[in-house]
Structure 1
Amino acid sequence: MSQSAVQKPSLKPQTASNAGVKDSDDLKTYFLKIHAPWEVLATYADVLKIKVPFKESDIPHGQDVPLEWLSRPFRLPEKVMRPQPDYFTSPFDKDKIDFFLIKNRDTFFPPSTRNRIVYYILSRCPYYKEDCKETDKKGIKRLLNNGTYTSAFPLHDRNTNEQCESERYHLYKNWARFLCFYKEQPLNLIRKYYGEKIGIYFAWLGFYTEMLFFAAVMGVICFTYGVLSYDDNLTSKEICDPSIGGSIVMCPLCDKKCSYWKLNSTCLSSWQSHLFDNEGTVFFAMFMGIWVTLFLEFWKRRQAQLEYEWDLVDFEEEQQQLQIRPEFETRCTDQRLNQITQVRAPYLPLPKKCGRFCLSSVTVLFWMLLIVACITGVIVYRLAVYAAFASIMKDSPTKKIHLVGSLITPQLATSVTASFINFVIIMILNFFYERVAIWITDMEIPKTHLEYENKLTMKMFLFQFVNYYSSCFYVAFFKGKFVGYPGNYTYMFGKYSRLRNEECDPGGCLIELTTQLVIVMTGKQVCGNIQEALLNWWCSRKARKDQYSRWEQDHDLQNFSQLGLFYEYLEMVIQFGFITLFVASFPLAPLLALCNNILEVRVDAWKFTTQFRRPVAAKAHNIGAWQEILNVVAILSVVTNAFIVSFTSDMIPRLVYLYAYHHGSEATMSGYINNSLSVYDISQIPLLSTPEEGAIPACPACCLRYRDYRYPPGHQRQYSHTMQFWHILAAKLAFIIIMEHVVFVVKFFVAWLIPDVPSEVKARIKRERYLIQEYLHNYEVEKLKIQLSQSFIIEPKPEVCTATDKHGVLSECL
């Protein structure tokens, strides 16, 4: 396997014609090609306990599936899907080299294994001078950090436009082109060329995208139900009716700047809200709770199957013991006896570890509080700007811009601008925190690569969780919940701050949550795709068009860092949170995610095959810490969607009115609007809340209306909550408990019903272990027989003489 290292001109070897050193076309950069011969590969394959084939598998691949012809258009050629036959494998042992199926030494170790071995050696190779006694100067990473070498990378196969039997060409032709978006992914070929870690990522991304199809279909059905029931929405009809909604005058939504307004001015937003806030919302929220369980359980089964097929079943212990980070070995000066290997090894003392952990935790907490402070600033912006928008738009119904004023309400204008400001803040904080997270993770000096990635994953996800979702949590669970009532409004920083807490949009808070979700989720995906497209365009623009060497072409490509997959996972897990935590407010979110992921798979494949240098192959038997994060998000999503349906949606109040408070022989929603609005005496309105301009509206008995369930003026308990309010609150809490228990019971039942490891995989693992023991036993027996036969040599009998002693007994003598 060739590995290329790029050296600075000042460090150019003495003789440019040395074997393995090539001058570049620009005469400024020098390349050192490294090749590992068979002896080196075999030695380190033994050290790393790499599994290699010893017998071709005799277990059938799979059984014929009925109607298999339906899936034929989505399938790839067999030679692409399975570039090599299935084998039973065993850890490589150099002393038992004839035990393994070695047909060709040049191709026995796959490319990913060869470049992993070479990089493993380079990471631990000392480079100090003979007169230097410092033994910690070793590893290619240190040479890269101090600028001795500018880069080190494995070489790609030939160009993707060369129609030859190379693995890279097959990947480009069958995987990286967008026209193949409906085809299955050649996971075995990806694993063979790039390694198991990248293969697991694309397997997970493909499986996630396939499961999104079912969620997207159900979301479209629920949205279609909202569209088809559009004309049957009696609530919106009452709001738009001039005799009902046109005769209801509402209290000002802010102090001084906001005027009185009529309920029918929110006709359009009421219709829009119905598209997402209908009976299908409850069903879809429960469906997504079960869908996420099926997704995680079926992925565990798929992951177990890949673990077996890719020889990763016993990889966890191997990785923990062997793949220690060179940075840990270099920076940890203390040593102690390793209880497992009985060799003195570097370690980080507990006091130092605790100190670094505390500093890291404080840093993460500081940045999370910084996000909360920014969100608070956005809320203050919403409170302050709403009055300005209300002042600008208060006369719109009487002017020629009536249509614009109806479409762009003060609530909508405030919500949209605040969402965009919040999105800009999210992107800025992301830019800075990514660098901070890497710095504090490096400071903790994790021992293994796995530990490093897990620590960085938890830090980044905690930050991203607060950064991306805090604004949605505010709109869903806080906005409009602590408003008070006319004459006793609640203010954010006290009454004299003049920042009155926001009320929900007249169409309901759910439509505002939908707006927030669409802007943040879509904006993140669009910005990410634009950023990748511009970066790839700029890099391809800089690349030379003439023909030059393979290593120079690879050097001009983008470097795929060790954390490259980390950002890919992070992007998808954040998206997963959007489509699960708040999906009750926007059933079309899975459809948007599906469209994005179909494009994401092919864009990532195109980047790997054409835009990135070939990454150093690495092993991974699962998706790491992301699995636990997905499990936590899945559990939390059941709770958030139950609260959204109960407290953000108007579904529960409508059902309580329909079955408990409707007066009439037929249960309909007629009269719901009048029932859901409380009455306030306009003569009691405080001076602070009185509009600066605008005549007192002509309303029946000079009463204003507002959204709440309170007793009217003149009642002995005026402006206190009615019994209907407590009935609705009890119904909301009951719904949360029922929905959570139903979904969780189904989740646990499904998790129990579906085993994490398929029975077929268990049988294969047992058979392979049995065969390893049997074949090794037979191999040792045969080897012992050969050794015995070679050591037992029959020599010819020497000449003898006979004699008779004095007793007459014959004896032999030499």
Structure 2
Amino acid sequence: MFFKNRQEHMELWGRQLDTTEPLLPAMPAHRTFDYVLVAHKVDNDNNQKSQRQQAFIEQLKKKNISITRIAHDDKVFFGLRAPSKMFEDYQYLLKVSDSCNWCGDVRGTVTQATRIRVVHFILHQTFINTGENLEELLMKDVFETIFCLHERKQQKDLKRKWARWSALFTGQPVNNVKCYFGEKVALYYLWLGWYTKLLVPAAALGIIVFLYGLAFFNTNPLIQEVCNSSIIMCPRCDNRCAVWQLSDTCFYAKVSHLFDNEGTVAFAMFMAIWATLFLELWKRHRARHVSQWKVYDWCEEEEELILKIVNDPDCTPKQFRHSYMRNTLVLILVTLMLMLIIGLTQALVVFRVVAAPMMSEGSLEFFKDHANTVAMMLGAVLHYVTIQIMTRVNRWVSLKLCDIEKTNSLAATERSFTVKMFTFQFFTLFSSLFYVAFFLGRINGHPGNYLRIARWRLEECHPSGCLTDLFIQMAVIMLLKQTINNIFEFTVPWLKSCVSRNAAKTLERKCGHCYRKACRDEQGCVEPCDICKLRDWLRNYHLANTDAFSLFNEFLEMVIQFSFTTIFVAAFPLAPLLALINNIFEIRLDAIKMVQLERRLVPKKTNDIGVWTKVLEVIGVLAVIANGLVIGVSSDFIPRLVYQYRYGPCANGSTHLHCMQGYINDTLSTAFMSHSAVLKDFQMNQMRTENGVTVTQCSYRDYRSDEDYTLTSQFWLVLAVRFAFVILFEHVVVVCKFIAAWFVPNNPIQVKNDRLHDKLARLKEELREMKRSRSTDV
């Protein structure tokens, strides 16, 4: 760039833009305020709070920010409006930066969203003589709160097009959302809409898998074998638990078949590939929009540097730092936190181990008959309560760990916090599920050698398999989390909105003329009276508060849901359907909440969903591993396959019997009361049936010898096939994922061509400006 000085460059740039649009927009019909600062009224001017308030206000005045002060009841409102010069500097720095030459804010008018973003940064980078900034003053109650205002016209437009329940099945006006809330919020809704749309085929296939199991609900030979069985099973617990009939669990066997059938394998493979296709197609979808919004090459780090210069031309960059000591400390603390979370999971396991036998020994017949199922559901509810408590703990710990790290920028801090918070939440939600999926019923031992916690025996799997336990756990947590969270998300802001409307109506009675009789200033702009200003400020003040975590919470909720939908989908084929139904309502719920019930979010500029993309990629890999293990280890798919081709009637050449006839009996081993070790676990009063008949033997689920209780050759064959299947499944799916990622390019050809034309046009413009500069010198 060949210019004598900045002023010359600004004049040339201004003349160029004058041919299309003015450098800065015409003032709105009535003057808007960029921010409103609220403080408690202090009677004594010598009070420390009052002095700090005045000191901060004076610092803002030094930056030429105009301030309108209005007192109301016990509060003082400060309306802040930044000067136009501040945004001229911002646009100029964007123009000469490396990565923002064609950003949306460089050409055209300065929108209110841009004004809010710039002023928000400046307010939080303003320090008083004590070294305190706005964040510290808010923490010390010097100021009560700060918020930006909703624009009434644009707000009503968004209500009509988007934030209403009647628009439930209509498209989202993401361009309008971008202009009002910024690119960061727009990309969240763009991602959520895309995720919801691609859930449709996943939900449809999940329903087909469920219906496939339902079609053979009454004719499946495995179900018939359980329902018509006369096998006596060993007691589920010590002392008062007695032997029971396998046929008593007929309904449980039917439910197990709904979620553990041949279609589950194909569905798990489909969902693993679906997760990859979803991400690759999302990258293309994102590229189209960020290219259209002219932020494709935008750089968050450079944006922060520009804002620092606008705030203080003499600023110095915050140096990059790396400390092995700090990183080691953070790693140790993260490990300790994960150990605490896993410890809570063990506590839930102990609760279930203790609850089941206690209910079996109780007086209520229902709990005695369904002790294990009730204990499982109570454990799931307790897990949900634990999740709600630990969410707050996880957030506090993540913030403290970010403080220890001392990252270089706000963007780096946000990335670090996101990774830590998601990791803690993932372990909080999924530790219990991993136990149910991979450990339940596999480490409990056998008659004569049961594994115990204190004096309580560990849980056993049902003879029909363990997958139903995992399904119950997932269904309870997913339904509770989505339903209760959405109720609280909506009702709390709605109640605050009611307060806001009442306060506004009170002021409307005091001011009947509103904008109609308001005075005009020397520029001809309408200047509302103080009561009208206050009415607008109070309307926004009484809305639910928003902060940097508002959008993070929405992303975290949806990414956790994505984890439920993909990682253990083999155990819960209806998870995509529940996610789809939830998301259809979630989009409108969040829209109504943001537009009508909450204070306006600070518009942030970005060109991606950030570190969440990496998180989703990790979840995609975990989905392959977990689903392979669920099918290979947790489900009965492999044992049934081995029995069909190695031990069943068909393997022995029989053509008169079904290939799976006798499978349930084949998976059971027998314990004899004559064995001394068995007598230690079972008392004679436990060996009486409901009819009062005393039995001398009982069956349990395992592949063990009846003589010495050693594992049989069938166990080792099944185990070998399990491992072989897991390895084969994961390699096949990973190869399919790589092929899908290669086949679908991240950027559409149209986007590449558009960017090429934009770069060429920018270079030509730079060349013309250079020639104009040379001709001016001559």
TM interval, short-chain normalised: 0.7 to 0.9
| Matching of residues 268-283 of structure 1 within 5 Å | 268-283=251-266
CA-CA distance at 1:465 after TM superposition:
1.1
Name the SS for the 1:392 alignment partner.
coil
Instruction: State the partner residue of 2:685.
Output: 693
2 CA distance for matches of 1:563 and 1:391? 48
CA-CA distance at 1:39 after TM superposition:
2.9
Q: How big is each residue's C-alpha offset from its partner over 1:242-286, in whole Å with a ceiling of 9 and x where there is no partner?
A: xxx1x2111122222321111111111001111111111111111
Q: Is residue 402–residue 416 contact of structure 2 (8 Å, CA) maintained in 1?
A: yes
Q: Is residue 21–residue 30 contact of structure 1 (8 Å, CA) maintained in 2?
A: no
Name the SS for the 2:238 alignment partner.
coil
1 CA distance for matches of 2:607 and 2:616? 17
CA-CA distance at 1:90 after TM superposition:
5.6
Change (3 A) 1:91 1:552: closer
Change (3 A) 1:152 1:325: farther
Q: Which amino acid aligns with 1:653?
A: P
Name the SS for the 1:583 alignment partner.
coil
Q: Is residue 554–residue 613 contact of structure 1 (8 Å, CA) maintained in 2?
A: yes
1 CA distance for matches of 2:104 and 2:91? 8
Instruction: State the partner residue of 1:673.
Output: 664
Q: Which one has a bigger Cα radius of gyration?
A: 1
1:731 to 710, 714, 721: 721
CA-CA distance at 1:323 after TM superposition:
6.8
2 CA distance for matches of 1:120 and 1:48? 16
Change (3 A) 1:490 1:606: same
Change (3 A) 1:238 1:323: farther
1:172 to 142, 159, 162: 159
Q: Is residue 318–residue 408 contact of structure 2 (8 Å, CA) maintained in 1?
A: no
Q: How big is each residue's C-alpha offset from its partner over 1:478-509, in whole Å with a ceiling of 9 and x where there is no partner?
A: 011112222222334xxxx3222221134321
CA-CA distance at 1:456 after TM superposition:
0.8
Q: Does residue 766 of structure 2 align to residue 719 of structure 1?
A: no
Q: How big is each residue's C-alpha offset from its partner over 1:101-149, in whole Å with a ceiling of 9 and x where there is no partner?
A: x5xxxxx122211222222333334544xxxxx7x55x54444344443
CA-CA distance at 1:413 after TM superposition:
1.6
2 CA distance for matches of 1:224 and 1:214? 15
Change (3 A) 1:611 1:638: same
Q: Does residue 656 of structure 2 align to residue 624 of structure 1?
A: no
Q: Is residue 150–residue 599 contact of structure 2 (8 Å, CA) maintained in 1?
A: yes
Once structures 1 and 2 are overlaid, which stretch shifts more, 465-474 or 366-375? Answer: 366-375
Q: Is residue 41–residue 114 contact of structure 1 (8 Å, CA) maintained in 2?
A: yes
Change (3 A) 1:5 1:508: same
2 CA distance for matches of 1:238 and 1:50? 77
Change (3 A) 1:647 1:700: farther
Q: Does residue 544 of structure 2 align to residue 558 of structure 1?
A: yes
1 CA distance for matches of 2:685 and 2:168? 60
1 CA distance for matches of 2:308 and 2:86? 21
CA-CA distance at 1:214 after TM superposition:
1.5
The Cα RMSD (Å) is 3.1
CA-CA distance at 1:37 after TM superposition:
4.0
Q: Is residue 680–residue 704 contact of structure 1 (8 Å, CA) maintained in 2?
A: yes
Q: Is residue 486–residue 680 contact of structure 1 (8 Å, CA) maintained in 2?
A: yes
1:745 to 706, 711, 735: 735
Once structures 1 and 2 are overlaid, which stretch shifts more, 5-14 or 442-451? Answer: 5-14
1:152 to 142, 146, 161: 146
Instruction: State the partner residue of 1:23.
Output: 70
1:369 to 318, 339, 348: 339
Name the SS for the 2:456 alignment partner.
coil
Q: How many residues align?
A: 690
Instruction: State the partner residue of 2:358.
Output: 388
Q: Which amino acid aligns with 2:124?
A: S
Change (3 A) 1:36 1:730: same
2:170 to 183, 187, 191: 183
Q: Which amino acid aligns with 1:737?
A: I
Q: Is residue 687–residue 696 contact of structure 2 (8 Å, CA) maintained in 1?
A: no
Q: Which amino acid aligns with 1:630?
A: L
| Matching of residues 37-56 of structure 1 within 5 Å | 37-49=83-95
1:507 to 456, 464, 469: 464
2 CA distance for matches of 1:582 and 1:325? 46
Identity rate, percent: 35
CA-CA distance at 1:40 after TM superposition:
2.6
Change (3 A) 1:729 1:321: same
Instruction: State the partner residue of 1:611.
Output: 597
2 CA distance for matches of 1:702 and 1:759? 75
Change (3 A) 1:695 1:552: closer
1:5 to 28, 34, 37: 37
Q: Which amino acid aligns with 1:668?
A: C
| Matching of residues 445-456 of structure 1 within 5 Å | 445-456=406-417
Q: Does residue 745 of structure 2 align to residue 755 of structure 1?
A: yes
CA-CA distance at 1:517 after TM superposition:
0.6
| Matching of residues 389-468 of structure 1 within 5 Å | 389-392=359-362, 404=366, 409-468=370-429
1 CA distance for matches of 2:666 and 2:492? 57
2 CA distance for matches of 1:519 and 1:769? 53
Q: Is residue 277–residue 510 contact of structure 1 (8 Å, CA) maintained in 2?
A: yes
| Matching of residues 116-127 of structure 1 within 5 Å | 116-127=117-128
Q: Is residue 233–residue 246 contact of structure 2 (8 Å, CA) maintained in 1?
A: yes
Once structures 1 and 2 are overlaid, which stretch shifts more, 670-679 or 474-483? Answer: 670-679
CA-CA distance at 1:297 after TM superposition:
0.7
Q: Is residue 441–residue 466 contact of structure 2 (8 Å, CA) maintained in 1?
A: yes
Q: Which amino acid aligns with 1:144?
A: L
Instruction: State the partner residue of 1:803.
Output: none
CA-CA distance at 1:432 after TM superposition:
2.6
Change (3 A) 1:522 1:186: same
- Name the structure, 1 or 2, with higher relative contact order (CA <8 Å, separation 6+): 2
Change (3 A) 1:728 1:776: same
Give the TM-score, by structure 2 length. Answer: 0.83
Q: Which amino acid aligns with 2:476?
A: I
2:188 to 188, 193, 201: 201
Change (3 A) 1:730 1:661: same
Instruction: State the partner residue of 1:240.
Output: 227
2 CA distance for matches of 1:323 and 1:452? 18
Q: How big is each residue's C-alpha offset from its partner over 1:14-43, in whole Å with a ceiling of 9 and x where there is no partner?
A: 99xx9742424x343333223234333111
2:494 to 537, 540, 543: 537
Q: Which amino acid aligns with 1:501?
A: L
Q: Does residue 574 of structure 2 align to residue 574 of structure 1?
A: no
Name the SS for the 1:657 alignment partner.
helix
CA-CA distance at 1:342 after TM superposition:
12
1 CA distance for matches of 2:392 and 2:545? 19
Give the TM-score, by structure 1 length. Answer: 0.79
CA-CA distance at 1:527 after TM superposition:
2.3
Q: Is residue 237–residue 357 contact of structure 2 (8 Å, CA) maintained in 1?
A: yes
Once structures 1 and 2 are overlaid, which stretch shifts more, 265-274 or 436-445? Answer: 436-445
1:360 to 321, 324, 330: 330
Name the SS for the 1:726 alignment partner.
helix
Change (3 A) 1:358 1:324: farther
Q: How big is each residue's C-alpha offset from its partner over 1:624-671, in whole Å with a ceiling of 9 and x where there is no partner?
A: 111111111110111111111112111111121122212212552212
1:705 to 695, 699, 708: 699
2 CA distance for matches of 1:313 and 1:157? 27
Unpaired runs of 5+ residues, structure 2, are 1-31, 43-49, 58-64, 509-531
Q: Is residue 325–residue 449 contact of structure 1 (8 Å, CA) maintained in 2?
A: no
CA-CA distance at 1:187 after TM superposition:
0.7
1 CA distance for matches of 2:361 and 2:609? 53
Q: Which amino acid aligns with 1:41?
A: F
CA-CA distance at 1:325 after TM superposition:
8.8
CA-CA distance at 1:197 after TM superposition:
1.0
Once structures 1 and 2 are overlaid, which stretch shifts more, 205-214 or 428-437? Answer: 428-437
